[in-house]
Amino acid sequence: MGLTDLTRRSLMSVALLATMTGMALPAFAQEAPIKLGLLAPFSGSGGPYGKEEEDAARAAVKIINEAGGVLGRQLELIVADDETQPTAGVAAARKLIDVDGVVSISGIWSSAVALAVKPIAIEKGVLLTTNGSADEITQGDNQNLVWRFQTNGKDWGDAFGKAFLNDDVKTASVLVLQTPFTLSTIQPFKETFTAGGGEILQEIPFNPNQPSYRVEVDKILEGDPEAIFVAAYVNELSAVVKEAYRNGYEGTIYAYGNAAGSNGQFVANVGKELAEGVHHTQHVPVENSESYALYLNSIGQPEGTVMSFGAQVFDQIVLTALAIEKTGSTKGADLGAAFPELVNSDAPSIGDPVKALEALRAGEPFRYSGAASDFRFEANGDQSNLAYGHFVIKDGESELVDVIR
């Protein structure tokens, strides 16, 4: 007699005894939770954003679970640190997939980490949703497994060019950190800016984790550019701004919104005086967004707070959950194939994940309107229909001055 037969007979005996004696049946274990992975940067150059991504992911999981989960099962979030390093990211991704058994990996702030993890996700058939912006992330045959929730480098660079032109900047220089993402924004920026009549004076490269940026800043100030595009992350940007201030630079500094405007780290690093007048551009929900308001409320942040990376991760988790409910599957390719169906239709928009789940279960048409932006998906996994907020820092706060499309 097999173990299954023994188990079945034991259960039948318990049930019969319960019927005869009136005792309550024991509670047997429910179906195991569906595990979702979060690969976030808790150390390295992306360190300032790891907690923001984790808080967003946990908030989304909590909202979904309190609404009954998906397919009658709860979600479980497994978190790992990629250290903003490809080697560490690969090791963490392999553990999430092979040991923890996640059906998806979200987060991935660094483009270099995303590019390193991407082949593993495709090999294993695991859904990969990322914040990395390097154009190469969505290139090639990704088998419906790789989806970007951030703008790509090309479109972001173009938005910067438009911001410079809108501010009537005539001469600019570029100080660029040597990473896949930062480099992907530079050529599109230069093309847009020069096509509109702007002149690029200099382009100076630099490397991560340098002890000083004095030499590069001294060079970039030659020719006295009206504006400097500092294509770098928050720690490098902070060091560059301090050096420029030491040199008495009176022009305008432009930076990525994820460096200058997200979570207040830049202002904390350099102080209000040095941060005053720094411009930054980022695709964010600059208009009314039900989902973004719900996201901020769920993490205890006041209205108007700019936390774009967290909003992107919130959308990643929500869409993954909706895709599981929609397809009845946890296979990565099935989930990815459902993403465009969930956001691209002409049906009524829903930003609340609970209402979206209810509409799915009722068979009602809808499209998910994201927290990070009211995006659509292109066939390669990139987002379109993005608006870019152009901000300037005043008295330590980011003030919206324009919306670029």
192 with 323, same domain: the answer is no
80 with 192, same domain: the answer is no
Give the per-residue pLDDT at 286. Answer: 55
12-35: pLDDT as tens digits:
344 444 444 444 444 434 589 999
Q: Is 2 inside a domain boundary?
A: no
Give the per-residue pLDDT at 12. Answer: 39
Q: Is 226 inside a domain boundary?
A: yes
Distance CA 227, CA 221 (A): 10
Percent residues over pLDDT 70 in the chain: 91
Are the C-beta atoms of 279 and 166 separated by less than 8 Å?
A: no
Distance CA 361, CA 216 (A): 57
Percent residues over pLDDT 90 in the chain: 76
Distance CA 211, CA 213 (A): 7
282 with 304, same domain: the answer is no
- At 141, list the tokens: 């045959």
Q: Is 11 inside a domain boundary?
A: no
187 with 132, same domain: the answer is no
Which of 272, 271, 278, 231 has its CA nearest to residue 250?
Answer: 278
Residue 91 pLDDT greater than 70, yes or no: yes
Which of 165, 400, 133, 153 has its CA nearest to residue 279?
Answer: 400
169 with 281, same domain: the answer is yes
If DSSP codes are grouped into helix, strand and coil, which group holds residue 253? strand
Q: Is 51 inside a domain boundary?
A: yes
How much is the pTM? 0.83
Residue 310 pLDDT greater than 70, yes or no: yes
125-158: pLDDT as tens digits:
999 999 998 899 999 999 999 999 999 999 999 9
Residue 304 pLDDT greater than 90, yes or no: no
Residue 400 pLDDT greater than 70, yes or no: yes
Give 261's pLDDT tier (boundaries 50, 70, 90). Answer: confident
Q: Helices then strands (H, E): number in the chain? A: 14, 16
Are the C-beta atoms of 93 and 113 separated by less than 8 Å?
A: no
**Bridge partner residues of 107 (DSSP):** 39
399 with 356, same domain: the answer is no
360 with 397, same domain: the answer is no
Distance CA 253, CA 248 (A): 13
Q: Is 144 inside a domain boundary?
A: yes
Q: Is 27 inside a domain boundary?
A: no
Q: Is 1 inside a domain boundary?
A: no
Residue 6 pLDDT greater than 70, yes or no: no
Pairwise pLDDT comparison (211 vs 360), residue with the higher score: 360
Residue 62 pLDDT greater than 80, yes or no: yes
148 with 160, same domain: the answer is no
Give the per-residue pLDDT at 287. Answer: 59
Strands 104-107 and 75-81: unpaired
What domain range includes position 276? 154-286+387-404
Residue 59 pLDDT greater than 80, yes or no: yes
Residue 3 pLDDT greater than 70, yes or no: no
Half-sphere exposure of residue 381: CA atoms within 13 angstroms, side-chain side: 28
Pairwise pLDDT comparison (132 vs 261), residue with the higher score: 132
261 with 396, same domain: the answer is yes
Compute the chain's Rg from CA coordinates. Answer: 24
258 with 199, same domain: the answer is yes
Pairwise pLDDT comparison (180 vs 202), residue with the higher score: 202
Q: How many domains is the chain partitioned into structurally? A: 2
Instruction: For the chain, give the longest Cα–Cα distance.
Output: 94
- At 2, list the tokens: 């097999």
Residue 119 pLDDT greater than 80, yes or no: yes
336 with 245, same domain: the answer is no
242 with 361, same domain: the answer is no
For 144-250, strand residue ranges (E) read 146-148, 171-177, 199-206, 227-231
What is the rounded average pLDDT of the residues 221-236? 94
Q: Is 344 inside a domain boundary?
A: yes
State the CATH number of the domain containing residue 364.
3.40.50.2300
